[in-house]
Amino acid sequence: MPLCPHCNSANIKQGVLWGNQDGSGTGSVGLIYRGWMLSHLATVHSDLCADCGTVLRTYVTDLEHKGEWATYDQYNEELGS
């Protein structure tokens, strides 16, 4: 189990989902990748220290099932800028 680098607590909640302020759903914040024809969102998770609120790590899972990651540079190229 990881320890919080800020307060040294072991009270780490792993895999906490990101979502909208209005609570309309989870999985709506993520990193974009290209699948076959379409773009998709890879859900972002974070490990959170439940004692001081420090976010230890932010990550996506199931990388082998993701296509090509969409980057800012690539996005600009496609717009011709």
Q: Residues in the site for Zn ion, rule: CB under 5 A?
A: 4, 6-7, 9, 49, 51-52, 54
Nearer to Zn ion, 9 or 39 (CB): 9
Shortest reach from residue 10's CB to Zn ion, in Å: 9
DSSP for 25-44, please give it: -BS-SEEEEE-SSSEEEEEP
Nearer to Zn ion, 12 or 42 (CB): 12
Shortest reach from residue 69's CB to Zn ion, in Å: 30
Distance between start and end Cα atoms, the chain? 46
Closest CA to 29 of 15, 14, 40, 19: 19
